[in-house]
Amino acid sequence: MMSPYSHRIRPSGLTLLALLIAVVMVIPLLSVATNVFNTGTTGTWTHLMDTVMPDYITTTVVLCLGVGIGTTLVGVGAAWLVTHCEFPGRRVFEWALVLPLAMPAYVMAYAYTDFLQFSGPIQTWLRASLNWTRADYWFPDVRTLAGAIFMFIGVMYPYVYMLTRTAFLERGGAVTEAARSLGLSPWQSFARVSLPIARPAIAAGVTLALMETLADYGTVSYFAVQTFTTGIYRAWFSLGDRVAAAQLAMCLLGFVLVVLSIEQSSRGRARYHGTGLRKPSRGHRLGGWPAGLAVVACLIPLMIGFVLPGGVMLHMALTDGDAQFGSRFLTLARNSFLVSTMTAVLAVTLALIVAYAHRLHPTLWTRAAHGAVGMGYALPGSVIAVGVLIPVTQLDNALVSALKAHLGWQGGLILTGGIAALVYACLVRFLTAALQNVDAALHRVTPHMDDAARSLGLSSGKTLLRVHLPLLRRGLLTAGLLVFIDVMKELPATLVMRPFNFDTLATQVYTLASDERLSEASTAALAIVAVGLVPLIILCRQIAADRQS
C-alpha cells in the first residue's frame, strides 16, 4: 500500500530534469577523478614525479602567495581610499579601478612583453637618450615568475577591490564614525575596525583571484613559468598521455580545494553582521601632499592594469601594417560570437531550470543539483577540458562505429569534430555564473506572486512563462551577458576542445603571440578587451548608483 506521504519523497519531473543537468555537469570531474590511480600508458607519471613535479608545486605555491599578497594590498588599499577619504578624482577612481577586469591576463602579458623588450620603446629610448649599448645597462626581464605575479596582480586586484569596497560601504560608515568619536585616528580605525569587518569580503576576493590565477594558461605558458596548467598541456599534447594529464589535473584541482578550504577556515567561527545602520561614511578630507599620494596610489594600478596595456595594443593595431583587420579577423570574430552565444543561451536556460526547480521544490534533491552545478566555476578550464575530452571522445567513437555498422555512415566525428564538445566544456565552466544571477533575480520575486498565480489556476510552467519571465528579463540578460564575456576570454578549454581549423579570437591571440607576432595579435586582443568592457560599464553604473544611494 502506497504511503500518503510518498509524493513528498518521489522527485517531481522538474526536479528530475535538474538532477539530469547536474549529472551532465559533474561528468568531467568524475572522468578526471577515475584516472587518479591509473598507471598511465608510457610511464609518464613516474617521469613527471622524478623531474618536473617539484617545480610545478614550488612555482604554483609561490605564484599563489605572490598574487594573494599583491591583490590584497592593492585591492584593500584602493577600496579604503575611495570609500573613507575625500580627494580629487575619487568619484572617477571609484568605477575606473574596476576596468582591469576587462583585460585578460594573457593580453596584458603580451602587451608588457612588447613594451619592455629590448626593441621596445622603453629600452630604445634609454639607449638613444643616454647613448648606451646593450652591455652598458641591465634591464629586468618581464618573462619570469615575478613578471607573471605582476601581471596577475594587475588584472586580478579588482576582485578584492569590489568586494572590499562593498563591505566598507555596507558596514563601514557608522562604525568608522563611532571609532573616530572614540579618539581613533583614520589609520587606527582602518586597522582595528574597518579591516576586521571586511575580512570575509577580502578572503572571498582573494579566493576568486587565486582561482583565476590557477586556471590561467596563456600567461604562464608565454612566460615559460612551469605550473600544473602547463604540465597538463605538455602531458596531453607533447607526451600523448591522457591519463597523466588527468592526474595532473587532479593535482591542480587539489590546489583549488586547498585555496577554498583556507578561505573557509580563515573565518573560523567569526560572524560579521551588519548593525542596521547603513550610514555612508562622510570621508576624511585629504589635502596637500596626502591628497596627491592618494591620487597616485589609485592611478598606479589603473595605469598598470588597463591604460598602459590597452594603449600598447591600440598603438600596434593602428600603426603596424601587420595588424589583422581583414576577412580572417571577421572569421575569428564569427567563431567567437557563435560559441559564446550558444553557450550563453544554453547556460541561461539550464540555470533557469535548476533555479526554478530549487524554488518550487526546495528538497535535498534540488539542493544537491544546485550545488553540483555550481562546482564548475571552481574547476580550471584545463581540468574541465581534460575531463570533457576523455568521455566525449569515447562516446564519439562509439556513435561513429554504431552509425557505420547500421547506416553505413562515412562521416567523421560528430561531437569532437564540431563545436558541441567545446560548448559543453564552456557550459561546465561558466554555468555557475548564470546560476548565481538567475538565483538573485528569482529571490527578488516575492513568493506571493506564485501563490496568486496558483489561485488563478496556472500551472508551474505557465507561471514561469507569464509571471516570472517578464520579471526576470533583466536578470537573465545580465546572466547571459556575463557568460558570453567569460567564454570570449576563455583560453585553456578552447585550446584543447576546439575542432580542427576552428580558431577564436582568444586562440588567435595566443597563437600569434607564441610566434612572437604581437602586432598581428593586437586586433584580436583589442576585440576581446572591448567586448569585456560591456558588463563593466553596467557594473560601473551600478557602483555610481550605490554611492549616490
User: Under DSSP, is residue 23 helix (H, G, I), strand (E, B) or coil?
Assistant: helix
| pLDDT per residue as tens digits for the range 228-272 | 888 887 877 777 777 777 778 778 877 777 876 776 666 555 555
Q: How confident is the model at residue 8 (pLDDT cuts 50, 70, 90)?
A: very low
More confident residue, 181 or 480: 480
pLDDT at 154: 93
* pLDDT at residue 70 tops 90: yes
For helices 105-116 and 121-130, give the axis angle rounded to 10 degrees.
20
Q: How confident is the model at residue 351 (pLDDT cuts 50, 70, 90)?
A: confident
Q: Which of 241-250, 294-303, 437-446 has the lowest mean pLDDT?
A: 437-446
Grid coordinates belonging to 309: 596595456
Separation of alpha carbons 228 and 386, rounded Å: 13
The third-level CATH classification (topology) of the domain covering 42-136+145-275 is MetI-like fold (1.10.3720)
Q: How confident is the model at residue 447 (pLDDT cuts 50, 70, 90)?
A: low
pLDDT at 147: 92
Grid coordinates belonging to 202: 577580502
Contact (CB, 8 A) for 256 and 380: yes
Separation of alpha carbons 355 and 373, rounded Å: 10
Q: How confident is the model at residue 192 (pLDDT cuts 50, 70, 90)?
A: low
* pLDDT at residue 382 tops 50: yes
Per-residue DSSP letter, 10: S
Of 252, 346, 239, residue with least CA distance to 29: 252
* pLDDT at residue 9 tops 60: no
Q: How confident is the model at residue 460 (pLDDT cuts 50, 70, 90)?
A: low
Q: How many CA atoms lie within 13 A of 269 on its CB side?
A: 0
More confident residue, 508 or 180: 508
The mean pLDDT value of the chain amounts to 78
* pLDDT at residue 300 tops 90: yes
DSSP lists the bridge partners of residue 86 as: 285
pLDDT at 65: 92
Grid coordinates belonging to 58: 614550488
Contact (CB, 8 A) for 355 and 442: yes
Please give the backbone phi and psi of residue 126, each rounded to the nearest 5 degrees, phi first: -60, -45
User: Under DSSP, is residue 92 helix (H, G, I), strand (E, B) or coil?
Assistant: helix
Instruction: Of 82-86, 323-327, 357-361, 425-429, give the range with the top mean pLDDT.
Output: 425-429
Question: CB count, 10 Å around CB of 304?
Answer: 20
* pLDDT at residue 310 tops 70: yes
- CATH superfamily for 12-34+323-516 is MetI-like (1.10.3720.10)
Contact (CB, 8 A) for 383 and 27: no
More confident residue, 11 or 72: 72
More confident residue, 260 or 291: 291
Q: How confident is the model at residue 80 (pLDDT cuts 50, 70, 90)?
A: confident
Give me the helices (H) in 12-52, please: 13-33, 44-51
Q: Are 12-34+323-516 and 42-136+145-275 equal in CATH topology?
A: yes
Q: Which of 43-57, 396-410, 454-468, 508-522 has the lowest mean pLDDT?
A: 454-468
pLDDT at 322: 58
| pLDDT per residue as tens digits for the range 476-488 | 777 787 788 888 8
DSSP lists the bridge partners of residue 285 as: 86
CA 52 to chain centre: 27
User: Under DSSP, is residue 224 helix (H, G, I), strand (E, B) or coil?
Assistant: coil
* pLDDT at residue 1 tops 60: no
Please, is 273 exposed, middle or buried when counting C-beta atoms within 10 Å of its C-beta (0-12, 13-18, 19+)? exposed
Q: Residue range 176-205: average pLDDT?
A: 67
For cell 595532473, the residue is 248
Amino acid at site 422: L
pLDDT at 412: 64
Q: Which of 198-202, 313-317, 385-389, 447-451 has the lowest mean pLDDT?
A: 447-451
Question: CB count, 10 Å around CB of 105?
Answer: 27
Q: Which are the contacts of 357, defined by CB distance < 8 A and separation ≥ 6?
A: 12, 14, 15, 17, 18, 366, 369
Q: Which of 228-237, 466-475, 515-524 has the lowest mean pLDDT?
A: 466-475
* pLDDT at residue 162 tops 90: no
Separation of alpha carbons 82 and 547, rounded Å: 10
pLDDT at 150: 94
Q: How confident is the model at residue 211 (pLDDT cuts 50, 70, 90)?
A: confident
Q: How confident is the model at residue 214 (pLDDT cuts 50, 70, 90)?
A: confident
pLDDT at 276: 45
* pLDDT at residue 149 tops 90: yes
Question: CB count, 10 Å around CB of 124?
Answer: 12
Contact (CB, 8 A) for 87 and 81: yes
Separation of alpha carbons 323 and 313, rounded Å: 10
- Dihedral sign (CA 476, 482, 488, 491): negative
pTM, two decimals, is 0.78
* pLDDT at residue 115 tops 70: yes
Separation of alpha carbons 289 and 292, rounded Å: 5
Q: How confident is the model at residue 493 (pLDDT cuts 50, 70, 90)?
A: confident
In 364-465, the DSSP E strands lie at none
pLDDT at 277: 45
Grid coordinates belonging to 113: 612583453
| pLDDT per residue as tens digits for the range 414-430 | 677 778 888 998 898 88
Q: Where are the domains of the chain?
A: 12-34+323-516, 42-136+145-275
* pLDDT at residue 386 tops 60: yes
Grid coordinates belonging to 153: 596582480
pLDDT at 4: 41
Per-residue DSSP letter, 515: T
* pLDDT at residue 227 tops 80: yes
Separation of alpha carbons 115 and 92, rounded Å: 27
Separation of alpha carbons 231 and 235, rounded Å: 6
Of 72, 67, 145, 150, residue with least CA distance to 112: 150
Contact (CB, 8 A) for 82 and 165: yes
Of 512, 434, 539, 445, residue with least CA distance to 477: 434
| pLDDT per residue as tens digits for the range 367-380 | 888 777 877 776 77
Separation of alpha carbons 249 and 390, rounded Å: 13
The rounded percent of the chain whose pLDDT value lies above 90 is 9
pLDDT at 151: 93
Separation of alpha carbons 331 and 298, rounded Å: 39
Q: Which are the contacts of 438, defined by CB distance < 8 A and separation ≥ 6?
A: 348, 351, 352, 355, 472, 475, 476, 479
Q: How confident is the model at residue 289 (pLDDT cuts 50, 70, 90)?
A: confident
* pLDDT at residue 209 tops 80: yes
